[in-house]
Structure 1
């Protein structure tokens, strides 16, 4: 999958194209943006939250758990020299404590979590 970004209408707004999908990203007004879309770090947090919800839901369905809904909230920002994502997961449904614990283990194995927790290499090619 390829992600393409090009300049949008505002001074810092950019249009993100991912396959057939289009999103906007922008900066806050305090940095010269117009806040027409989420900041890049917010998109990264959203990717972690979405991956968590999808992965846990798929697992719960496969195992027959009574997971009726999942609420994933991510707080993020710089803290003590590192960028920290604090993920809070609320499971809705009639779940035993051991099922909730297993779902949390699975949340820690979602692909985005594994990517962010592993070694990341960014190769930049100017063309």
Structure 2
């Protein structure tokens, strides 16, 4: 069954700070000082990297038993290449990440082959990875003047 997830993002008065919320949770998002922000929180592309890592971590924990894969610890190291010139208006440079790389770490007694198969499963199952790999249709439903 299709579920709708909602969120809000509200520009705060100070610098480039934005308060985001979904359900009963909030995240403060900002930009570093060299980009005009106050450095009070991660910027949106850092949040995206964290969302990808968190999603894959949740998939690992959620599906390990079903997959028959045991591990003591799990983490992902992520890096993305971003050229701010695109965001600042250079039409020859993409606005977003050029590439995202990640390395999956398991503390496990499972074989390397089984770890790689489980990592493939995690990547194929992760909704954030799916959105990044396959894109998602963005639909602006209106512009409201309050």
Same fold (TM over 0.5): yes
Listed as ranges, the gaps of 5+ residues in structure 1 are: none
Q: Is 1:60 aligned to residue 64 of structure 2?
A: yes
Cα separation, 2, equivalents of 1:58 and 1:96? 20
The alignment covers a number of residue pairs equal to 127
Please say which of residues 52-61 and 76-85 is displaced more in the overlay.
Answer: 76-85
Q: Is 1:106 aligned to residue 121 of structure 2?
A: yes
Residue equivalent to 2:7: 3
Residue equivalent to 1:75: 79
| Contact 2:69/2:118 (8 A) holds in 1 | no
Q: Which has the higher strand share?
A: 1
Q: Is 1:22 aligned to residue 26 of structure 2?
A: yes
Cα separation, 2, equivalents of 1:5 and 1:123? 16
Please say which of residues 8-17 and 21-30 is displaced more in the overlay.
Answer: 8-17
Residue equivalent to 1:44: 48
Q: Is 1:126 aligned to residue 130 of structure 2?
A: no
Q: CA deviation at 1:64?
A: 3.5
> TM-score if structure 2 supplies the norm length?
0.79
Q: CA deviation at 1:106?
A: 1.2
Q: CA deviation at 1:9?
A: 4.8
Cα separation, 2, equivalents of 1:62 and 1:92? 18
| Contact 1:7/1:14 (8 A) holds in 2 | yes
Q: CA deviation at 1:7?
A: 2.2
Root-mean-square deviation over aligned CA pairs: 1.8
Cα separation, 2, equivalents of 1:108 and 1:83? 19
